[in-house]
Amino acid sequence: MKGMRKYLLPFILLCVLAFPARAGVWDMDLPYQGDDPQWAKVKAMWDRHWDGKNLDEIIGALAKIQEKDPDKAEPYLWLSRIYYLKARWERKDRQANYQKAENYAVQAHEIDKGNLLALKLLVDTMSYSGNTANTLFRYGDWIRGASPLPVGEALPPQRSSEVWNRFVILWAQRVDVEKGKAAVKILEELASANPNDGFAQLWACRGNYYLGEYYTSVRQHDDMAVPYYKRGAEFGEKVLKIMPYSVPAHYWYQLNVARSIQYTGMLNKARHFNTLLKSLVFCSRENNLYYFFGPALTLATMITNGGWVTEKGMQLTGITLETELDQLELAEILYPDYFYIPYAKADVLAYKGRKDEALMILEKLLARNPDANKVIAPENRCFQRMAQQLCEEMKKGK
């Protein structure tokens, strides 16, 4: 026992100290020079870009910066992002705008070879504009050379305190669901004590989702998981009132809602569809690579559970089932350790009637070690259990 205590304190300190270092890997923040009036103008317009109606003005301002600083990567990164958004918002000239977004990402890469944002912009664009085979033929060395991309916690840490540090220690051990429950209880207490703190509410939203996910994976969805998803959605609603343009807020809110209605009737799913669609499209447009291509993973599960209604609805936003499979393939290259990606791919293939391919993916997934990546080991164990369920259902002919 004394020997265990000798190693326990260093482990706990490591968890607490390492937690902040793993945050921030999911950002798609564009760099700018705050002391430059031209950049300040761009940033001011960007802060109002949410409806997609001032993109041409931003492009005009960026053109002047690019002309002044043609050897810097920043304006090319911005131009890639803005043309991508134009393609997502506007049907007219969609493919031409995707092409411009692609070209500018490549130019940024040529200037700064190690720029991960340039890679993310390229992958995001190519997952909508062309098939994966074409993407990998042209940019495979670049994409595979960057794999695996850095991973970390879904959300940034709260301000360090004794309470927060207790949460971090428990959260690191959430593979034991009782430790996970204790961690989420701390999050809910922090959210209750700080009702105007968006990130406090967001952490409680995300924490409840994990507990729901755990119980879904152990086949206790209706009795145990759904109450956590509904609780998570309540926190998500609070977050969105405080942070209406937050990708993580929309992402974790819609995940909780989607899971809470996953096995209900089609009428109930249809009633929530517009709410889910709004949040999901916002996430996919603003940061489709957030949390292991999270929006694409959500869509995969929504399609397989919502059927043609979801599929047709997503087509209205420019997302097809083929686009979805392209995104899953790119996601698997860049985040090979996250088990939900192959699980989602198998689920979509089974939905399309390609069951032999789906079973092959699932069997390989079931043979892998879920604890290989410690950061996501608790989630990977859940996904492996879900894969086992899907595999059994397919073999029974469901």
Q: What is the tally of structural domains in the chain?
A: 1
**Tens digit of each residue's pLDDT (9 = 90 or more) over 109-124:** 999 999 999 999 999 9
What separation in angstroms does the CA of 279 have from each of 88, 138, 143, 186?
Answer: 15, 32, 28, 27
Termini Cα distance of the chain: 50
Q: Are 62 and 70 in contact (CB under 8 A)?
A: no
Domain presence at residue 8: no
Give the single-character DSSP code of 224.
I
CA neighbor of 73 nearest in space, from 113, 40, 36, 34: 113
**Tens digit of each residue's pLDDT (9 = 90 or more) over 274-328:** 888 899 999 999 999 999 999 999 988 888 887 666 666 676 666 777 888 899 9
Mark 325-360 as b/e (b = at least 16 C-beta within 10 Å): bbbbbbbbbbbebbbbbbbbbbbbbbbeeeeeebbe
In whole angstroms, give the CA distance from residue 377 to residue 151.
Answer: 12
Domain presence at residue 44: yes
CA neighbor of 340 nearest in space, from 312, 311, 368, 318: 368
In whole angstroms, give the CA distance from residue 110 to residue 102.
Answer: 12
Domain presence at residue 278: no
Domain presence at residue 294: no
Residues of the chain with pLDDT under 50: 1-23
Question: What pLDDT was estimated at residue 277?
Answer: 86
Domain that holds residue 74: 37-146
Domain presence at residue 103: yes
Question: What pLDDT was estimated at residue 323?
Answer: 84
Q: Return the CATH number at 59.
A: 1.25.40.10
